[in-house]
């Protein structure tokens, strides 16, 4: 059973509906560690050694956050800048993250039609997330397409929220049980809409 670290980054969690529900849906699962970056570092004074130790102790590194202006909240960038040190995360001696899985769980206001070449946002989600894919590659990690919940600005009824939470639990459980087909997950537009295809079935 793999150990999963969820670096949770929401700067306004009291106002969140879907991120709060997603987190609650998985936080009591075995081998799951929730690392709330804004709660732990309200002044952005990130404890690099603590964060590196957490990464070393886990097999899957998840970043869960809302999409703000086509990118992650600022603390995620701060985390990447400080924690991914040369000769720890990358470089000739930087093998601490080698072979670990890099996963993004992202919520966004726009729907799927917004995130394509002819859409209002001009680019696909995978194009907008390309810096993270490059980061994973540099750190010798495996990257897969993001798990997304889109169209939240149109409002999500409770039934839809429960649907996304259950899908998230299924996804996290498959990661934990090492039942994700990585090659298919890399090629999927979104892991969240291709669960039946990317999860190994016994």
Q: What is the pLDDT of residue 158?
A: 87
Q: What is the pLDDT of residue 164?
A: 94
Please state, in angstroms and rounded to a whole number, the distance separating the CA atoms of residues 134 and 141: 10
Find the domain containing 183 and state its range.
4-198
Please state, in angstroms and rounded to a whole number, the distance separating the CA atoms of residues 68 and 126: 15
What are the phi and psi torsion angles at 180 (to 5°)? Answer: -95, 130
Contact between 105 and 168 under an 8 Å Cβ cutoff? The reply is yes
Q: What is the pLDDT of residue 137?
A: 98
Q: What is the pLDDT of residue 126?
A: 84
Provide the token pair at 154.
């149109």
Domain count within the chain: 1
Provide the token pair at 20.
């709060």
Q: What is the pLDDT of residue 1?
A: 93
Q: What is the pLDDT of residue 115?
A: 84
pLDDT tens sequence for the chain (202 residues): 999 999 999 999 888 889 999 999 999 999 999 999 999 999 999 999 999 999 999 999 999 999 999 999 999 999 999 999 999 999 999 999 999 999 999 999 887 888 887 778 888 888 899 999 999 999 999 999 999 999 887 767 888 899 999 999 999 999 999 999 999 999 999 999 889 999 987 6
CATH number, residue 128: 3.40.50.360
Q: What is the pLDDT of residue 114?
A: 84
Please state, in angstroms and rounded to a whole number, the distance separating the CA atoms of residues 169 and 27: 10
């Amino acid at each position: 059973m793999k150990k999963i670290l969820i670096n949770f980054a929401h700067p306004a969690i009291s106002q969140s509906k879907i991120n709060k529900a997603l987190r609650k849906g998985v936080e009591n699962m075995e081998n799951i560690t929730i690392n709330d970056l804004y709660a732990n570092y309200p002044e952005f004074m990130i404890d690099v050694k603590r964060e590196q130790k957490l990464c070393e102790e886990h097999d899957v590194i998840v970043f869960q956050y809302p999409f703000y202006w086509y990118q992650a909240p600022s603390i995620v960038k701060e985390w990447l800048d400080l924690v991914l040190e040369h000769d720890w995360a990358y470089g000739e001696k930087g093998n601490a993250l080698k072979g670990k899985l890099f996963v993004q769980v992202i919520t966004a206001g726009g729907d799927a039609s917004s995130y394509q070449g002819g859409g209002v946002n001009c680019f696909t989600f995978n194009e907008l997330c390309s810096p993270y894919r490059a980061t994973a590659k540099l750190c010798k990690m495996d990257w897969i397409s993001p798990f997304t919940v889109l169209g939240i600005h149109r409002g999500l009824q409770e039934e839809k929220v429960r649907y996304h939470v259950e899908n998230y639990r299924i996804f996290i459980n498959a990661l934990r049980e090492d039942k994700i087909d990585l090659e298919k997950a890399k090629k999927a537009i979104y892991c969240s809409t291709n669960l039946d295809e990317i999860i190994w079935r016994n």
